[in-house]
Chains A and B, each alone.
Chain A
Amino acid sequence: MEFGGPFFKEFAAAWSEKDGYRLSRTLYPDLPTEKLRKIWRSQNEHDIKGALRRGLQNSGAALEGLVNNETQGWIEVYIAYWKAVGDILAARESSSDNSKSSQVVWDKACDAWRDLLIVLIRGYQNHGFEAWTIPCLYVVGRHLRLFSIKADDERSINNSFDDNTATNFQDDVDPETGKHEKLEECARVLNRMFMLCATDRAPIEESRKWGIYYIVNLLLKTYFKLNSVSLSKNVLRMLAAGQQDMPAFSAFPKSQQVTFKYHEGVLYFWEENYVEAEKHLTHAWNLCHKDAIRNKELILTYLIPCHLITTHTLPTEKLLEPYPRLQKLFLPLCRCIKKGELHLFDLALQEGEEEFVRRRIYLTLERGRDIALRNLLRKVFIARGFEDAKEGEKPVRRSRVPIAEFAAAISLGSQEKVDNDEVECHLANMIYKVSQASVTFSRSRFGSIAISPFPQ
């Protein structure tokens, strides 16, 4: 909104209702170019400070408790916003102008927007900004992340363009260095924003702690993009340390709860702590909005492998039905695990390798091979049928299975011969890993397995 009468009215209205979301809308950057131009042209470098001072003081917000020191803070915020708008406008105009396509245009806009966030943070530190205004932090923080990604992308496209025209022989230069330069700077400022909220000592009802999960989510998303598990874990640790002075987790909006639980779950997943991971991912799943298909898909991408490891069971077709992408990702593997088709399992894993590795679920899924093997061995056991029953007694399964039969089953798909020692080794491993019941296995001409060798 350009800096004129309506703007000051809007500011005062947000103030009288103490509506932080309404106030935060005066700091939006993603407006139509025409509107941005109006904002930019409504002021100039020389007059803006005086105009804002007069406007804010006369807006009626003063009657609602806006004090002088605070006014000074907001003046600085809006000056920083106005400057950033100018740079965003310039970036938009030159990126639509094709003749300058190889130029880096978003760098400057990104820097100006970061300055805005720093000024805003300072408002809370030095000018006594109240906690109800924290949605302003959300808006500015969220867009800083977006501008940073945009600036980094733009630079890397230009760099690859340069690499093509002039061959670069410097092998020792790491192309990854500086690839996320802006996003890394952004993460540092977001981290300051996190500390600003985490360390607030005000009573809980007027505390900036209410902003913490929004900001943590923003920070975790950023660290995920930067591929930094350790920094993400740091945030969780700091959060856990301050837990006793925090409002209850369930008191936060569900969008924040779900986003947080998803990231927490995925972090545990990457640490191979599948029990914890499943707990958090299930929490995220249950609270997730039923229409948020893409997010539900992401939750399941990790929840399904998790569940496979913790309970050895597979997703039902009904669960996967609404998600064609997940069907493509998991169904071939699931089918092979269920049927015990070892060879096809290996092929399916190979087939999806690139995708699995990208999502960091390959190693987890690889462990599904044990389950496929277990299911195959069970089929051999079932296929042996029953002992000849004595009259009046229940038939008993034939529990003595020749090693050769297991061997034949294992090599069935691949047609690769396995020798008996290897099969015995597999069996011993299976018994160790899978079976919790007491099972005997003696080395003889037959593998001898006691009753109920395939416990649930």
Chain B
Amino acid sequence: MASTQTTSKKDDKAAETKPDQQQQAAAEPKPAALEEDDEFEDFPVDDWQTEETEAASGDGTTQHLWEESWDDDDTSDDFSAQLKEELKKVEASRKR
């Protein structure tokens, strides 16, 4: 009895979600058609001066492009606070 109930529930659910899925399927091809070409574009000019290159427009190094270190020492954000709380709880439970 219980099992028939759950299956009927499942069916209801399936019936409910179906129109949504169909809508999604109908909407999907659209972005694909509008999708921008991934191709590397032809440059409007054949050649250019060194001053006009990306390397020259920065400070000549690639230093500013990347963060210097992978260490995140900023502990003021929500996640760090949450983590600290969690670790305290662990410590407290061990001491008990």
Interface residues of A (CB under 8 A from B): 142, 221, 224-225, 253-256, 258-259, 262-263, 282, 285-292, 294-296, 298, 307, 311-316, 318-319, 338-341, 358-359, 371, 374-375, 378-380, 382-384, 402, 404-405, 408-409, 412, 454, 456
Contact = CB atoms under 8 A, between A and B. Distances in A.
A186 to B, nearest CB: 15
| Closest CB pairs A-B (n = 7) | A286-B55, A253-B47, A255-B43, A290-B57, A312-B70, A253-B46, A319-B65
A153 to B, nearest CB: 11
Interface of B: 38-43, 45-48, 52-57, 62, 64-73, 75, 77, 79-80, 82-84, 86-87, 89-91, 94
11 contacts: A254-B53, A263-B40, A287-B55, A290-B57, A292-B43, A338-B67, A340-B79, A374-B70, A375-B71, A409-B83, A409-B87
A73 B64 CA distance: 55
Given A378-B71, A379-B83, A316 B54 contact: no
Contacts of A319: 64-66
A341 B84 CA distance: 14
Contact of B52 (A225, A289, A318, A339): A289
Given A292-B43, A338-B67, 14 more contacts: A254-B47, A255-B47, A258-B43, A289-B43, A290-B52, A292-B41, A314-B70, A316-B66, A319-B65, A339-B79, A380-B83, A382-B75, A383-B75, A404-B90
B45 A296 contact: no
A456 B69 contact: yes
A255 B46 CA distance: 5
Contacts of B42: 142, 255
Contact of A405 (B67, B70, B75, B90): B90
A287 B53 contact: yes
A409 B79 CA distance: 10
A384 B87 CA distance: 9
